[in-house]
Structure 1
Amino acid sequence: MSQFPIIHADDALRYLKARQLENDSVTLDDIRRTAGTGDAMSNAPLQDLRTKLLLLKKKFPEKLTKRDPQGGRFESEACGIVHAGLANVDRRVRADHDFWTWLAVDLLADIVEWRFGTAGRPAQNANYGIGTRAENMFFRLWLRADLGKTPGTEPYALAKMGDQDLWRSHLLRQGYANARSIVRALLKLQAGKLTTQNKTAKKLAGGEDPNGVRMLAKRLRRMRANVVFEYLSTEQADALVYELSLDLKKGK
């Protein structure tokens, strides 16, 4: 495995605090480290990833407001770019929490701030993965694409589906998301594309409605105690999600 860039979470926190205070007492050069052995990994794929994300960003407003739906649309398009851009990076590198911290705090920090920072309020530390890797913007996008990727000419079509509430509340933070067939069934359901035995399920109500997708998530969590979802085939997962959704409130 090659050497690769990392930033430890505690160092990242010191740097971000100093930056918020417009204090240059802690710089990126002070906190940037390397892990691994041998020659340094090529920087070209990472720079190419940055270039592609910046090109995508140009299609969106220069500034986003709090809870701006444009931010969710950006993430929908960006997840496939992040996943494909890191496809040839050693999986041991991708397994290192500190690599993702470096990616967010150093290479792609301006994109994190554009996505989550607002006037007078910088992005939260969690958006950089400090405290929990699951909230690191780019790890989250990579995981979203990895869970939703399917064979075919449009491998990220499913990963692009679904709003922020569906992904963050009912997929990425749930244990049943380890079963990709369940994730994909839920995505197809909310896209109006879940079909089993020639019957197509209707999309469920989202948001705060307790009798829509939120109730489906509760049912899946309860079932996970007794059913090993990872063993379900695509057809079995589709049928299960279809049955669990039949009596729930439908969306528009």
Structure 2
Amino acid sequence: MTTALTKEADAFAATLRQVIDDYPVPDVWRPGSPSDDRTPALDTALAAVGWAELLQDPDAPAFIGPAAVELGRGLVPLSEVDRLLGGSPLHQGLARYPGERVIARTREGLREHRVLGAAPVPYGDCLAVHTVESEPTDAAVHPDAESAWLRAQTGYLAGLAAGALDLAVDHVRQRAAFGTTLAGLEGVQFRLADAATAVEGLRGLVSREDCGPAALAHAGRAAETVVAQCHQVVGAIGFTLEFPLHRYSRRARVLAAWNDAWLEGALT
């Protein structure tokens, strides 16, 4: 990747970050209830700066990774990532944010399915998960859709890890114990240093040419590890609905299930 292209990709990511800051996503999830975090105003704003058409750009891989990091950091609805695939991934009759179509994996490759009916189900995060009845269509899936989606999913996980780390660092700088802030404790410093190293590794991963299935599998495990380390230094408050760290851990956990299912399907 050229220096000029890297600067353009970083500038685009910064633009997305500002948009996300301007349209924060509320936490609408409650245990035992179907929930949907899609935010129409944010969707419109992201489309206005070019996220929705990014796959049409010949240099899309350079932009998708850094941009998706900002989506994850801002807990943007995953429907924005699934836009690159052409619809929600369908697995064993379940889809998140189903619209008029979903994307299924078949022996012949990815296939678009028309949604005939959908019923919401309670889920571990506000992904608007539905049981879906569908039928295949003749519409082709963009040849670069899956590779772009895999890169975006990897970037999103990197963003979740980065967002969790930001919260943990801010928390330990403000809380005091044993005559100093938590940030002054050696054990806390070591744990957050490990987390920061993992986050930087994930950031580098999304810019690699070979950012594909193996990268996504690694990113899922790494993001969960980072979030767990952040919970260790934040303590019990991190699991409460009032403290936003639980949003990152919740999403990292459910994404691991979705992504593992999709990757497993590619191997069978």
> If the length of structure 1 is used for normalisation, what is the TM-score?
0.32
* Higher RCO, 1 vs 2 (CA within 8 Å, ≥6 residues apart): 2
Q: Which is higher, the Rg of structure 1 or of structure 2?
A: 1
- Normalising to structure 2: TM-score of the pair? 0.31
